[in-house]
Amino acid sequence: MDCLTIYTDGASRGNPGNAAAAWLILRGTEVLESDVLVLGKQTNNVAEYTALIHAIRSAKKYAEPKTTELNIYSDSELMISQMNGTYKVRSASLQPLHQEAEESAAAFASVSYHHVPRENSYIGSCDWLCNNALDKMSAADMIDDLRKGREPVECRPIGIVHSPFKDRKDAPNQGRNTREISHIEIFPEYRDGLVGLSPDDAVFILCWFDRSERDILQVVPHGRKQLTGVFATRAPVRPNPISLTLVTIESIEGTMLTVRGLEALDNTPVLDIKPYYAGIDSPENE
């Protein structure tokens, strides 16, 4: 008589929520199959039964059912008790799955069901398969949401600009066109992020141009005559009005940076500061 051992696990994030079903099939200590199935939105119990059904079906690939006994292990006490007949199947959603599992198992010479704790190493492997699949599913969902514009990306200002430029008509079109001094006030909770910066350092200041239009995709750049997409320009108007300006630090006093060459208007939110490195910020052919 041949003998196969099966371990199964199901997982649902939200219950119901994104779900996965995983199983291992072994002959002795040899792993014949290790697989996982992503189910979409399901309950944890449905995921447990789905793993069981697919594992029993897959076992038929590795042995002759009529001369094979199955030893099935799961950490789902409910499912194991229902398959052993000690618990009734009251859930309407589980009844057809329970029947399908029994019908698939009937092809084998004998089937035994055993409850084991989650700490079992084989169950742990199934659990890892489930969670790894769900992690990938969550990442794919997030990317899909981003592509559809449904998932906002949150940025929190780290500081604010104190500038001599109060109106857009007063500000230069590029920071390099001014020698005016501006002050960048970094909020106290980000003080530690300034460690390592020094006077005379060249740094990029990333700001959020909160007074720029966000529904314009084409402009006529300064000094040109034809419409150009904003992604091919440095125009402040754009879907996400993030500015990037190379400045020189004149001085640092506590959380106040004095810089030269910043075109941002007074009270513009600051998103980030990044050091300039000639070796990586200049094209190789320059």
Rounded mean pLDDT, 90-119: 96
Rounded mean pLDDT, 76-88: 97
Cβ neighbours around 144 below 10 Å, total: 11
What integer pLDDT is reported at residue 172 of this predicted model?
A: 86
What integer pLDDT is reported at residue 138 of this predicted model?
A: 82
What integer pLDDT is reported at residue 148 of this predicted model?
A: 75
At residue 263, φ and ψ (nearest 5 deg) are: -90, 0
Q: Beta strand 30-42 with 17-27: parallel, antiparallel or unpaired?
A: antiparallel
pLDDT greater than 90 at residue 72:
yes
Q: Which residue has the tokens 């996982």?
A: 36
Rounded mean pLDDT, 216-241: 90
pLDDT greater than 60 at residue 286:
no
pLDDT above 90 as % of the chain? 79
Cβ neighbours around 143 below 10 Å, total: 11
Residue type, 125: S
Map out the domains of the chain with their CATH numbers.
2-147 (3.30.420.10), 159-281 (2.40.30.70)
pLDDT greater than 70 at residue 150:
no
**pLDDT tens digits for 155-211?**
899 999 999 999 888 888 888 888 899 999 999 999 999 999 999 999 999 999 998
- Please state, in angstroms and rounded to a whole number, the distance separating the CA atoms of residues 78 and 115: 9
Rounded mean pLDDT, 66-73: 98
What distances in angstroms separate CA 198 from CA 9, 23, 224, 252, 278, one per listed residue? 56, 57, 38, 7, 17
- Please state, in angstroms and rounded to a whole number, the distance separating the CA atoms of residues 121 and 144: 34
Helix 95-105 vs helix 44-59: angle between axes, to the nearest 10 degrees?
Answer: 20
**Stretch among 78-87, 105-114, 228-237 having the lowest mean pLDDT:** 228-237
Query: Is residue 225 very low, low, confident or very high in pLDDT (cuts 50, 70, 90)?
Result: confident
What integer pLDDT is reported at residue 101 of this predicted model?
A: 98
CB 184 within 8 A of CB 259: yes
CA dihedral 110, 111, 112, 113 (to 10 degrees): -170
Helix ranges restricted to H, the chain = 44-59, 77-84, 95-105, 121-147, 278-281
SS3 for 232? helix
The per-residue pLDDT of the chain, averaged, comes to: 93
What integer pLDDT is reported at residue 139 of this predicted model?
A: 81
- Between 238 and 154, the more confident residue is 238
SS3 for 121? helix
Closest CA to 205 of 279, 152, 240, 257: 257
Rounded mean pLDDT, 199-228: 92
Query: Is residue 1 very low, low, confident or very high in pLDDT (cuts 50, 70, 90)?
Result: very high
For every residue of 157-214, DSSP letters joined together read --EEEE-S--SGGGS-SSGGG---EEEEEE-GGGGGGGTT--TT-EEEEEEE-TTS-S
What integer pLDDT is reported at residue 29 of this predicted model?
A: 93
What integer pLDDT is reported at residue 260 of this predicted model?
A: 95
pLDDT greater than 80 at residue 143:
no
